[in-house]
């Protein structure tokens, strides 16, 4: 009886560890999640910008820019699925795409500083486009 409960416990522990393993967020997913929260808040605020909240918008844009920069130092999960001889080109493409978004975020920060709201709205929409294209190309498909 004692042995039986022990093996059931071990089995449950194994199942639990396995499910944690397959659900575990990659370091890049963690950055992307943080970026997503700040992006959503900023994107919503820029629909009806309030001059007095400019500093807050700038902080959010800087936060997204810094997270984007840090994302560029990590490799997408999909890298492992790319044939070895194409992997360097894949990573190079990924880093270029990230740098493009960093440059767009730098422009967004400038537009916010200048209270150029129409420009800021264009740039936040452009980032959405980057996100779409970046995910199509570099994000692994999940079952």
The residues of the shown chain that bind ligand HEM, judged by CB under 6 A, are 25-26, 28-29, 32-33, 35-36, 39, 76-78, 94, 97-98, 101, 127, 130-131, 134-135, 138-140
CB-based burial of residue 81 (10 Å sphere; 0-12 exposed, 13-18 middle, 19+ buried)?
exposed
Q: Which is nearer to ligand HEM, 52 or 83 (CB)?
A: 83
Task: State in angstroms the smallest separation of the CB of 60 from ligand HEM.
Answer: 11
Give the shortest CB-143-to-ligand HEM separation in angstroms: 13
Question: What is the Cα–Cα distance from 48 to 67, expressed in whole angstroms?
Answer: 25
Nearest approach in angstroms of CB 35 to ligand HEM is: 5
Residue with tokens 């042995």: 3
What's the CA gap between 73 and 22, in Å, rounded? 23
To ligand HEM, the closest distance from the beta carbon of 126 in angstroms equals: 10
Given a contact cutoff of 8 angstroms between Cβ atoms, the answer to whether 104 and 119 are in contact is no
Which tokens hold the place of 66? 């810094």
Q: Which is nearer to ligand HEM, 13 or 128 (CB)?
A: 128
For ligand HEM, give the closer residue by CB, 1 or 21: 21
When CB distances to ligand HEM are compared, the closest residue is 134
Closest approach of ligand HEM to the CB of residue 111, in Å: 16
Task: State which residue, 99 or 115, has the beta carbon closest to ligand HEM.
Answer: 99
Give Cβ neighbours of residue 111 (< 8 Å, ≥ 6 apart).
117, 119, 120, 123
d(CA 106, CA 122): 13
Q: What is the Cα–Cα distance from 120 to 108, expressed in whole angstroms?
A: 6
Identity of the residue, 90 or 117, whose beta carbon is nearer to ligand HEM in the bound complex: 90
């Amino acid at each position: 009886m004692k042995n039986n409960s022990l093996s059931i416990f071990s089995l449950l522990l194994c199942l639990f560890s396995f499910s944690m393993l397959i659900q575990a967020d990659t370091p890049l997913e963690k950055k992307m999640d943080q970026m997503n929260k700040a992006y959503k808040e900023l994107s919503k605020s820029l629909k009806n910008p309030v001059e007095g909240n400019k500093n807050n918008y700038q902080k959010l844009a800087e936060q997204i820019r810094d997270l984007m920069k840090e994302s560029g130092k990590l490799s997408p999960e999909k890298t492992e699925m790319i044939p070895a001889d194409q992997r360097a080109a894949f990573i190079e493409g990924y880093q270029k795409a990230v740098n493009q978004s960093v440059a767009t975020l730098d422009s967004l920060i400038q537009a916010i500083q200048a209270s150029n709201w129409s420009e800021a709205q264009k740039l936040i929409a452009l980032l959405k486009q980057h996100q779409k294209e970046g995910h199509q190309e570099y994000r692994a498909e999940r079952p």
